[in-house]
Each structure stands twice: as C-alpha cells, then as structure tokens.
Amino acid sequence: AQSVTQPDIHITVSEGASLELRCNYSYGATPYLFWYVQSPGQGLQLLLKYFSGDTLVQGIKGFEAEFKRSQSSFNLRKPSVHWSDAAEYFCAVGDEGGSEKLVFGKGTKLTVNP
C-alpha cells in the first residue's frame, strides 16, 4: 500500500527566509501528488498538484514543488516566507487502486518568526 512520509513534524523559519518542506512517498506507479495547507480550525486548501509532465509545479501563494522520481520525493518550497504562511502542511498521494482516495502524510507545522 502506498504511504506518505513527512519527516519534519515542526519547522520554524524567520519571515523572509526560504522554506523547504519534505515529502517522500511510496507508490507503485506514477503517483498523483498533492500539497495542502490547513490553517488552525479550518479545512484544507490545495496548494499545488502533480499528475504528469513538468516535474516542477507552481502553486498558489508563491509555492512550488518538485517531483523527483529517483528520490520518491515531492518537496514543497517557497523562496521567501510570509508570516501568513504559518499553518499545517500536508502532503498527499492518490490511491493507486483508482478509488480517488488520498493518503496523507502526518503533516508539518510551520511557525514563522518575525
């Protein structure tokens, strides 16, 4: 069965610094990969997705992610973090059984220091 690993439970960065959130997946074929953001007490908002094609995908709010098949990774990046980016970030992979289910990582909480 597929799985998603987000190695970092909590990351703290200073406002204006660059950010990289790690995500590794286990999947048999070409995965459908997603990054979602969740603000406290809120639902999830899609930041970006990868289905095929260009391995560097651009998302909303200045985020991007790069799919690296050789490393089974889909790391999320942002060149300059804003205080409003403080939130929980979830990486997810589509269920290889074709059910449209998503398998989520445990999440990374981002704290932004002024």
Residues that bind other proteins (CB under 8 A): 32, 34, 36, 41-46, 49, 51, 90, 94-95, 99-102, 104-107, 109
| Shortest distance in whole angstroms from residue 114 CB to other proteins | 23
Q: Which two three-digit tokens encode residue 26?
A: 């286990």
Q: Which is nearer to other proteins, 32 or 66 (CB)?
A: 32
Q: Give the CA distances from residue 20 to residues 1, 6, 69, 73, in Å, rounded to whole numbers and listed in that order.
A: 26, 12, 18, 12
- List the one residue out of 8, 9, 18, 15 whose CA is nearest residue 113: 15
Q: Which is nearer to other proteins, 46 or 56 (CB)?
A: 46
